[in-house]
């Protein structure tokens, strides 16, 4: 759907609020009176909205990214912890030393199956796909 077919609610321009419209002169007078009372209350407590926002914005520190130390930088080098042990050795290879398994057979495609007896080996070799 193109934008010219949409209603005015979906526009991206003209988002400013228009002039306040009151139902009657009495409503307008009450709204102005409440607004003035609110401003007087803020002054009495020493909190003025515009000045407070401005002061808060000026008082906040400027954000700066933290410095990253790259290789070859002038930052002092912190050595790694020396645990005192040497280089890890290779673990011994795991080899089956039992007598129950006679071997490994391939039943279908690459399905490896352990063979426990001669009968099983014969049965597996006679099986078809």
Query: Nearest Cα to 103, choosing from 92, 90, 116?
Result: 116
| Whole-number percent of the chain with pLDDT over 90 | 16
Q: Quick one: average pLDDT of 9-27?
A: 79
For residue 55, the model assigns a pLDDT of 74
pLDDT in tens, 42-78: 888 877 766 667 777 777 788 888 777 666 667 677 7
pLDDT in tens, 76-103: 777 777 777 777 788 999 988 888 999 8
Domain boundaries defined on the chain: 24-58, 98-129
Quote the mean pLDDT of the chain.
80
């Amino acid at each position: 759907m193109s934008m010219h077919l949409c209603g005015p609610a979906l526009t991206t321009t003209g988002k400013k609020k228009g002039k306040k419209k009151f139902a009657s002169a009495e409503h307008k007078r009450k709204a102005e009176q409440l607004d003035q009372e609110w401003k007087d209350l803020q002054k009495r407590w020493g909190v003025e909205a515009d000045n407070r926002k401005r002061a808060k914005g000026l008082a906040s520190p400027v954000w700066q990214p933290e410095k990253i130390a790259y290789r070859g930088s002038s930052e002092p080098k912190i050595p790694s912890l020396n645990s005192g042990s040497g280089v890890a050795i290779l673990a011994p290879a795991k080899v089956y030393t039992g007598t129950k398994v006679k071997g490994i057979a391939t039943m279908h495609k690459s399905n490896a199956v352990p063979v426990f007896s001669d009968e099983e080996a014969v049965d597996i070799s006679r099986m078809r796909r």
